[in-house]
Amino acid sequence: MQCQWFMVEEGHAYLRKKEYGKALKRFHSIEKIYTDYYDDQFDFHSYCLRKLTLRAYVNALKWEDKNKLNPFYLKAAKGAVDAYLALADKPKTVEQEIDESNMTEAEKKKARNKARRAALKAQQEAEAKKGK
């Protein structure tokens, strides 16, 4: 059994520090726990019918219906939504758009110049629209 309260709190701590990637990783791990619970129920269906433990089967079906109403799951889902909204509101900078990890020095320089020209062009277009 995973320690869900810790994972949720850790995700919220990353969210407060504006480390959205790490926060989303924690929140998605909570979602994966519940997906695994759901997938494990398929084995339990055949087991209960084979062993004729119908009371346990009915209890499992009731538990499955309210599985994703767990407070930890709901907090993780809300945290993931908050992280995605924060990422959508955050504008990309030129440095973030360029992935320089697999580039040579010449390619890096060319990419920076291209980004600088694009930013300058966008600024000039914005000024031209203001002037009209």
Encode pLDDT of 45-85 as tens digits.
888 888 888 888 888 888 888 888 999 999 999 999 999 99
pLDDT of residue 71: 93
**pLDDT exceeds cutoff 60 at 33:** yes
At residue 52, φ and ψ (nearest 5 deg) are: 60, 40
pLDDT band of residue 97 (cuts 50, 70, 90) is: low
CATH T-level assignment (fold) for domain 1-90:
1.25.40
Tell me if 13 sits within 8 A of 22, measured CB to CB. Answer: no
Q: State the pTM of this model.
A: 0.63
Closest CA to 15 of 93, 69, 70, 76: 76
**pLDDT exceeds cutoff 60 at 38:** yes
Give pairs for 19-27: CB < 8 Å, separation 24+: 20/83, 20/86, 20/87, 23/79, 23/80, 23/83, 24/80, 24/83, 24/84, 26/76, 27/76, 27/77, 27/79, 27/80, 27/83
Q: Tokens standing for 16?
A: 């407060």
Domain segments of the chain: what residues? 1-90, 103-131
pLDDT of residue 58: 87
More confident residue, 2 or 71: 71
Tell me if 68 sits within 8 A of 34, measured CB to CB. Answer: yes
